[in-house]
Amino acid sequence: MAKPKLTLQQRRRIREQRARSSSAPEKDDLLTTLLSSGQLGPEQNGLVVTRYSNQADILFESAPERPLRKCYFRSHLDSLVTGDRVRCRDGEPYGIICSVLPRKSHLERPDNRGNICTVVANIDTIAIVVAPEPQAHTGLIDRYLIASEHHQISPLIVVNKIDQDPQQVERTLNLVAPYKDIGYPVLAVSASSGKGINQLSAQLKDQMSVFVGQSGVGKSSLINTLCPHAAAKVGKLSDASASGRHTTTTADLFPLPGGGNIIDSPGIREFGLLHLEQHQLINAFIEFRPFLGQCRFRNCSHRKEPDCALLEACANGKISAQRLDSFFRISESLKND
């Protein structure tokens, strides 16, 4: 990342600071300079729009229409992520972040080394975006729903690209129909034609939402339709599937014109599932709940035991074989992780 341009005076102060404490890292020097400049405004509330290594783009809550301000933060605030609410002081050309307000929710995923790290904070709604192309998979939808349930964040299933081939669209709508039956909200939309966008916009109003889903389903395209000034990067489907990479590479926040914010986030595929216990996993299948604890054996595996309440519910059509199968598969995959 390019370093910020400093005035001569700021450079001189930094050199002086360094001479005094040769071990002090450069970013803290810059922060000290900003603090001692006497030009910072009073503390106020802000929202992290994009996080960089030692700075973040901040939206000041008192002036949401104003351009974003780059603000620096000290290393003790290193866990800062998109969606965090902060106390910050405005300044020209840079402000500073003083502290992070408590999070009401957060989502995590493993980094390249397998360490769990938080990727977004303060989420009210997880919009699970699927499409006829690339083809939707129930296994992935189930994983996102489990994460939503576990973190107590409302999920919303969004079927995008309903302008595509009607047969493929119908297949996708049939695929998500069982989720509607369980009680999950499902919306059918098209970022291209604008169909259903008003309903989606109404559903997301005043919420902090994160859009998740396979690369190429149209998350960024939907955000560009919902937030006219967003200019989120949109990729060609073939590029995304060929490279296996997401076009969107950082978690970015976009304010909704009518209130609320959407976070466009890449690769939150596995969030939150890594440290789930088996009982937490099965509880995340909400339609299983009435039958839990009703099996003859306390340690029932729900696979072949007699008087298994889940198998009976499945045989009676009260829960779907597909969801039960999905539970088994995800349960096995978590054991192997």
Using CB under 6 A, which of 56, 81, 217, 263 touches ligand GTP?
A: 217
Minimum distance, C-beta of residue 316 to ligand GTP, in the bound complex (Å): 38
Q: SS3 of 173, please?
A: helix
Residue carrying structure tokens 């005043």? 206
Q: Which residues bind Zn ion (CB under 5 A)?
A: 295, 300, 302, 308, 310
Judged by beta carbon, residue 18 or residue 195, the one nearer ligand GTP is 195
Going residue by residue from 190 to 209, which x/- string records binding to ligand GTP, judged by CB under 6 A? xxx-----------------
By CB under 6 A, which span of 82-90, 135-143, 235-243, 317-325 interacts with ligand GTP?
Answer: 235-243
140 binds ligand GTP, rule: CB under 6 A: no
Q: SS3 of 85, please?
A: strand
Contact 160, 285 (CB under 8 A): no
Q: What angle do CA 205, 57, 63 make, to 5 degrees?
A: 55
Give the integer Cα–Cα distance in Å for 109 and 174.
Answer: 30
Strand-by-strand arrangement of the 154-159 sheet: 186-188, 154-159, 125-130, 208-212, 261-264, 252-255
Q: SS3 of 317, please?
A: coil
Considering CB distances under 5 to 8 angstroms, the limit depending on partner class, which of Zn ion, ligand GTP, Mg ion, none binds residue 308?
Answer: Zn ion
Per-residue tokens: 167:
């047969």
Using CB under 6 A, which of 138, 248, 261, 326 touches ligand GTP?
A: 248
Contact 271, 283 (CB under 8 A): no
Judged by beta carbon, residue 86 or residue 162, the one nearer ligand GTP is 162
164 binds ligand GTP, rule: CB under 6 A: yes
Q: How do 125-130 and 154-159 pair as beta strands?
A: parallel
Considering CB distances under 5 to 8 angstroms, the limit depending on partner class, which of Zn ion, Mg ion, ligand GTP, none binds residue 302?
Answer: Zn ion
- Total residues belonging to the chain: 337
Using CB under 6 A, which of 155, 216, 260, 272 touches ligand GTP?
A: 216
Per-residue tokens: 319:
């829960």
Task: Give the list of residues 6+ apart from residue 137 with CB closer than 8 angstroms, or none.
Answer: none
Judged by beta carbon, residue 148 or residue 220, the one nearer Mg ion is 220
Judged by beta carbon, residue 251 or residue 324, the one nearer Zn ion is 324
Judged by beta carbon, residue 200 or residue 300, the one nearer Zn ion is 300
Contact 312, 321 (CB under 8 A): no
275 binds ligand GTP, rule: CB under 6 A: no
82 binds ligand GTP, rule: CB under 6 A: no
Using CB under 6 A, which of 28, 163, 287, 325 touches ligand GTP?
A: 163
Q: SS3 of 323, please?
A: helix
Judged by beta carbon, residue 83 or residue 216, the one nearer ligand GTP is 216
Considering CB distances under 5 to 8 angstroms, the limit depending on partner class, which of ligand GTP, Zn ion, Mg ion, none binds residue 55?
Answer: none
- Give the CA distances from residue 196 to residues 183, 191, 202, 254, 292, in Å, rounded to whole numbers and listed in that order: 19, 9, 10, 20, 37
- Where on the chain is the footprint of ligand GTP (CB under 6 A)? 160-161, 163-164, 190-192, 215-221, 234-237, 240, 246-248, 266
